[in-house]
Amino acid sequence: MGTAERTFVNNLVADRFSWICAIWLHLLFFALLSSQAGRERTALPAPEPISVEIIVQPFPVPEEPPQARERPEAGNAEALSAAPDQGPAGPTGARERETMPGEPPATGAPREEPSESGWVVASGFYAGDVLSDPRSAQARQALTSVTGDDRIDQLCALEAMEQVRHSRPGFRPTRVMPHARRNSFRKDNLLLAPAGALRSNRIWYEIAYRCRLDAGGTAIIGFEYALGPPIVRTLWDELGLAPIH
């Protein structure tokens, strides 16, 4: 290269030196920034995944009290009911301690029966007097038209009404349904009505009674009854209990 050419290059570099320096400074600065950004990307660790553990704690089941486990489930208990081999249960719900003379002993599982204070033991009998009254001619005629168990049912139902009438002032019994909630049944000369119904003043009451007859089944020689609470009005139709006679 000649002297003239070198002089031209030197002059060109001298004239453009500030530009060239500025370009190199920008390139250097950009390189530094790029290098720093790369190092930061490399240094930052990747975020760890979040792990969530769900612990399901079961609700505590309340322990059933020992009484509830031991006590049998109760349904719609009838106030006057009993198994045929145990005699009727009365409205008081206490255990009956004695039975009528000559009655077979109860068998099977024990049941709650009325205490003696819940039963009224008859000291006299009224069905015979009622039937012998001249005003009861129609009742006597109706009684002669039935025989066997039906006649005994009618005779004992009449005695039940008269016993309540004589022992409970204010009661005016007009009808007894021996089979309202459970059928009556016989044991030899003893008729048991464990869950009957008695109507007085247009209200039906629960009643249970025991009626003992003589050997011929024509005269009552023993009677006791337990009168329960009024029967809920909504049950009358279901039980066949008419509001009036």
**Along the chain (245 residues), what's the average pLDDT of each consecutive run of 10 residues?**
68 71 77 70 51 37 39 34 35 37 37 59 91 79 76 92 94 93 91 95 96 91 96 94 78
Domain match, 185 and 145 both: yes
Domain count, the chain: 2
DSSP string covering 135-170: GGHHHHHHHHT--HHHHHHHHHHHHHHHHHHHHSTT
Domain match, 26 and 145 both: no
Domain match, 134 and 37 both: no
pLDDT of residue 204: 97
pLDDT of residue 76: 35
pLDDT of residue 81: 32
Quote the CA–CA distance of 209 and 225 in Å, as a whole number: 4
Domain match, 185 and 73 both: yes
Quote the CA–CA distance of 156 and 154 in Å, as a whole number: 6
For residue 18, is it within any domain?
Answer: yes
Q: What is the pTM assigned to this prediction? A: 0.52
Domain extent for 27: 1-43
